Amino acid sequence: MTFKLIHTADWQIGKRFGSFPGDKPAVLREERLRVVGRLAEAAQANGATTILVAGDVFDSETVSDEVCRQLLARLKAYPQLDWHLLPGNHDPARAGSVWEAVTAVGVPPNVHVHLRPEPAELAPGVMLFPAPLTAKSTSRDPTQWMDDAATPAGTIRIGLAHGSVQGFGSEGDAEVPIDPARPKSARLAYLALGDWHGTTRISDRVWYSGTPETDSFPDNEPGFALAVEIAGADAVPKVSRVATSHYTWVRRQERIASANDLGALEADIAKLGSDATRHLMTLQLTGDVALAELSAIEERLGALKPQLFHLEADLSGLHAHAGTSDMEVLGGGALASVAERLKAKAEGAGEDAAVAELALRKLFALARRVDAGGRA
């Protein structure tokens, strides 16, 4: 027989995104709920009716009842699909946890919450072995119990867990050890893992799906679910990635000497067209520029910000020097005298030089505003 499933994890419903301004946190939180629809589409496109969520369904143990209802309503909207939810380190199954709220709200028939380490039948001849977490960290491998769980010969055995595989190096945050050799000792056809937010293959039978909706600026390929096809208890699964993320988070670094050097970045954003509004970018600028260029750079970055969903520019790596034309903007008198002293200090070394450069930047920006007819 052949069994198909969708493997996903780390939904972290209710994540606050507190570092973003305005209504952006609410928009990002909503998108983590909307991804349920894209996962359902992935299941339908790949002929699967089972979706395994390998932990951290919720971002914390204190998610509101309203958020629980919103998620359960979205899962219930796809009655042809069976959703299997596993507590992770963000939402462990213990007294007072979010799972008590989920139970109180009422779990739809097509939603299966695995709060205990016990086998569950996914289909005739297919058994799931969940390893729910009951604490944020543990020194004991929660998948160990799978070794001694008996099933009839020929049963497709699938493990579901959340934690960090031993000896691989985790990019997740769960202090939960998982033996990557568990498929051999527990006779698993596939071990679906959560914790790392990027899609990661550990072996033919052990995978991290990553988070389906990107939530930070990583370089570990988040924003996917895994379509898994298992042709028998001993067969090596066929695993393929399915893109599910609405937003794209980009980390970019540019070395520049003038505002015109931002041209390539501006062109890349222009090529995105309307999709630019689905991009979040953290931009680090480095280089040596004139003070006048610094102002022009800030202006051009200001023009780019509305084109993206979010742009966070770090100019701390830019060294701004004051040339003759820059000093002329300040005119004469006491202001120019202060500027000259700051310029001399800024051209030195050490912490005083950095402070002087920052002060000179502010002084120059103020003078530019006054010169342009702005209000000081």
Q: Which domains does the chain have, with CATH numbers?
A: 3-243 (3.60.21.10), 248-371 (no CATH)
pTM of the model: 0.87
Which residues on adjacent β-strands are paired with residue 137? Answer: 175
Neighbour tally for 161: CB within 10 Å? 30
Q: Residue 170: is its pLDDT beyond 60?
A: no
Contact 144, 170 (CB under 8 A): no
- Our measurement of the distance from residue 290's CA atom to the centroid of its chain's CA atoms, rounded to an integer in Å, reads 36
Arithmetic mean of pLDDT, 118-147:
97
- What span, in angstroms and rounded, lies between the C-alpha atoms of 84 and 49? 11
Q: Quote the DSSP letter at residue 205.
A: T
- What span, in angstroms and rounded, lies between the C-alpha atoms of 301 and 294? 11
Arithmetic mean of pLDDT, 238-254:
97
**What are the backbone dihedrals phi and psi of residue 204, each rounded to the nearest 5 degrees, phi first?**
-60, -30
- What span, in angstroms and rounded, lies between the C-alpha atoms of 327 and 230? 71
User: What is the total residue count of the chain?
Assistant: 376
Q: Residue 329: is its pLDDT beyond 80?
A: no
Q: For position 325, what pLDDT does the model report?
A: 61
- What span, in angstroms and rounded, lies between the C-alpha atoms of 29 and 99? 19
For tokens 């090596």, the residue is 236
Q: Residue 370: is its pLDDT beyond 90?
A: no
pLDDT band at 358 (very low <50, low <70, confident <90, very high): confident
- Contacts of residue 239, defined as CB under 8 A and 6 or more positions apart, other chains included, come to 201, 207, 226, 227, 228, 229
Q: Residue 207: is its pLDDT beyond 70?
A: yes
Q: Residue 372: is its pLDDT beyond 60?
A: no
- What span, in angstroms and rounded, lies between the C-alpha atoms of 342 and 336? 10
